[in-house]
A and B are shown apart, each in its own frame.
Chain A
C-alpha cells in the first residue's frame, strides 16, 4: 500500500552526495517538506496516506517548529500527542529513522498556504523528554501538559508542566501500554496472548 511505496522512495539521511537525487522524485509534491529537508538534512520525509510527514531528530524539534512558523507561514500548531509502540505487533518502518518506544506527534497547519504538515519525533523509553514547542506556539501549553500527564514525556522549557487530566497525586502514566488497565489484560481460557 501507500506505506510500502513511501518506504522504497525514502531518502537516505546523512548522505549528502545522494541527497538531492533521492529527494527529487518525492519531495516536489510537498514544497514545505522540501524546504525543511534543505535546512535540516537530518530530517526524514515520508508520505503517509497522502499527508506529508517529517521525522525530526530530537535535537532539532524546536528549531524545526520555529522554522515552520517563521519562514514557512505555519500559523497554527493544531495538536500535540504521543504514541506508545511498546506492544505494537506491526509497525510502519521508515528508512533512516531508528524506531523507539515513544513517538511525539505534532500536527501543524498553515492558513495562508492551506496545507498541513506532521512532525514526528522518536523518543527512547530510557529518557522520555523533548524540547517544548510552547516558546514557539503558545497553543502547545495544554496539549503538552496532556502528553506529559498521560505518557510521562517531559517537555523541556514548558512553562507549567503539571498533570492536567489526571489527579495530581496519580502514580503512573495511563496511556502507556504497560500501565493499568492495559497491563492487566482480561485473559480468557486458551487465549494465546493478550491482544
Chain B
C-alpha cells in the first residue's frame, strides 16, 4: 500500500474523528491504487477489507498508529471521556529519557490534565519471534535472552521449560535449584535497576547511582557464574550451561549483605521522605478489576491488593521448597509499586540465602546426550561423544510435534512461552508473552486525569522493558 493516494496532511494533530471520516470519503481511490500497483501480490490485496474506515486505518501515513476517537472502546470499563472544548495531543518520546528506551506516548490533554494516553510501540521491533523459528532449540536461548534485557534469565527459563515439556524431560534437582537461584539473583538485579531509574525519573537523582552500584554487584556475581553480565544464554534446554563455580557461596553471601544494606539505605532515603511520598502517593492508581480486565500481572497487580504470584500459586522449579512471602499492598498507586519492588528484593535475598544453604548435589543438566553436549573431556577420548557433540551443534535435536504454553513469574509479571513443534529441530512457532507488552495497556487507566508530570512517574512505575514489548 502506497502513499501517493494518502493525504499528506494527516498529521497527529489533525487526526480528529471528523478528519478521519472526511478523508475516508474524500479518497475512495486509495485501495484501488494500491491493488493496481505493480509488485503487490494479488493475494495480499484480496485480504484487504472493503470497508472504507478499516481501509483508512492502515492507509495512513507516517506516525499512523494514531489516536482515533473510538466511542465504544471498553478499556477501563467506560468510553473515552468527552474532551469538551480545546484539547491538545502531545507526543512524549520515543526519544525521551524517562521512557526507558523507545516508548512513544500520545497524550490527549486539556491544559495540563491528561484525558487519555495511548502508547505507540514497535520502534524496537526486530522480528525476534520470526528469528526464533529459524534457530534450533540449541540456539534459541541466545535469541529470547535479548527480549527482556533487564531479566534475561527469565526469558531463557521459560523458553527452556517449554521445550523441555515438549520433550518430556525431567530435570535433575540441582539443575532446578541452580535455575531458581539465578532467577532470584536476576530479580534482584532487575528491581535494583527499577529503583535506580525510578529514582532518577522522579528527581531523586542520587538513587541512580545507588541503585546502579548495588545492581553492578549482582551483575558481577552473575558474570562470575555465567561469564556474561547480560544476555547470559546460561539456562538451556536440558539444564544449565555449566555448574556453579568454586567459591560461589561466599561471593553470593557477600552480595546478599551488600544488597540488603543497599535496600535499607533506599528505604531510609526515600520511603518516608515527604517529597517522595507527595510525588507518588495517589498517582497513577489502578484497581484490581482493571488489572484483571487488562491482563496485567506482576507487581502492578499485586499493588492493588491481589496477592497473585506464580511462584506461590503454581509453583515451578523448587519454589514450593523454599520459604518466602508474596508482597502485596492495597492502594495500587505509584508509591505502592515502588514499595513492592523494594520489598521483593529482600524476598529474593531470602530465597538466594536458602539456595546457598541447601543447594543439593547432583547433575546440573540431564545426562541425555541427545539434548545436552557431552563433557568436554569425553570428546577427546570417545568417538561417540564427539559425534553427539557435532550433531547437537550442527543439526540440533528433534522435538516431537506438539504445542504447549509455559508461564513463570518474571520481575515484571507472567512471562509465557507458547511453543509449537512440527517434529523438526526448530520450533514452528515460538511466541513469548512479554509481561511489559500487556502491562503497557494499564497506562491509559493510570494516566486518566493525571498531570503531565505524573505521566513520567506512571511510565516509570510500570517498569516496561521495550525489548520485550516490541520483540
Contacts and interface: CB of A to CB of B under 8 A. Distances in A.
Interface of A: 1-3, 48-49, 51, 75-79, 81, 83-85, 87-92, 105, 107, 111, 114, 116, 118, 128, 134-135, 137-143, 146, 150, 152, 154, 159-169, 171-172, 174-175, 181-182, 195
B308 interface: yes
Contacts of B433: 78-79, 81, 107
Interface stretch (B72-80, B215-223, B228-236): B72-80
21 contacts: A51-B404, A83-B420, A88-B401, A90-B422, A92-B402, A92-B403, A107-B405, A116-B405, A137-B293, A138-B293, A138-B441, A143-B295, A154-B49, A159-B70, A159-B72, A161-B57, A166-B122, A168-B61, A168-B63, A174-B130, A182-B130
B422 A165 contact: no
A81 B57 contact: no
B306 to A, nearest CB: 8
Contacts, number: 164
Contact of B1 (A89, A141, A171): A171
A90 B166 CA distance: 14
A195 B424 contact: yes
Given A92-B402, A167-B122, A162 B58 contact: yes
Contact of B441 (A79, A139, A167): A139
B133 interface: yes
A91 B129 contact: no
Contacts of B414: 78
Contacts of B203: none
B448 interface: no
B441 A141 contact: yes
A89 B424 contact: yes
Contacts of B166: 49
Contacts of A78: 295, 297, 407, 414, 416, 433
Task: List the 10 shortest-distance A-B pairs measured between CB atoms, nearest first.
Answer: A139-B295, A90-B423, A168-B64, A88-B422, A165-B122, A165-B125, A79-B433, A81-B431, A90-B401, A83-B429
B73 A159 contact: yes
Given A81-B418, A175-B130, A169 B1 contact: yes
Nearest to B400: A1
A194 to B, nearest CB: 11
Contacts of A162: 57-58, 64-65
B418 A114 contact: no
Contacts of B3: 169
A88 B424 CA distance: 9
Interface string B50-66: 00001001101111110
A79 to B, nearest CB: 4
A105 B418 CA distance: 9
Nearest to A157: B72
A88 B292 contact: no
B156 interface: no
B251 interface: no
A122 to B, nearest CB: 13
A160 B89 CA distance: 18
B379 interface: no
Given A78-B416, A107-B416, A168-B58, 11 more contacts: A1-B400, A2-B402, A3-B400, A76-B292, A77-B295, A79-B433, A83-B403, A85-B428, A111-B308, A138-B77, A139-B294
B418 to A, nearest CB: 6
A171 to B, nearest CB: 6
A156 B47 CA distance: 14
Contacts of B441: 138-139, 141-142
B428 A88 contact: yes
B9 interface: no
Contacts of A154: 49
A185 B40 CA distance: 20
B60 A91 contact: no
Contacts of B130: 174-175, 181-182
Interface string B294-330: 1111000000001010000110000000000000000
A34 to B, nearest CB: 20
Interface in B217-268: none
Contact of B74 (A89, A134, A181): A134
Of A49, A84, A167, A172, which is in contact with the most chain B CB atoms at under 10 Å from its CB? A49
Contacts of A165: 121-122, 125, 470-471
Contacts of A161: 54, 57
A48 B297 CA distance: 25
A4 B162 CA distance: 19
A89 B62 CA distance: 40
A158 to B, nearest CB: 10
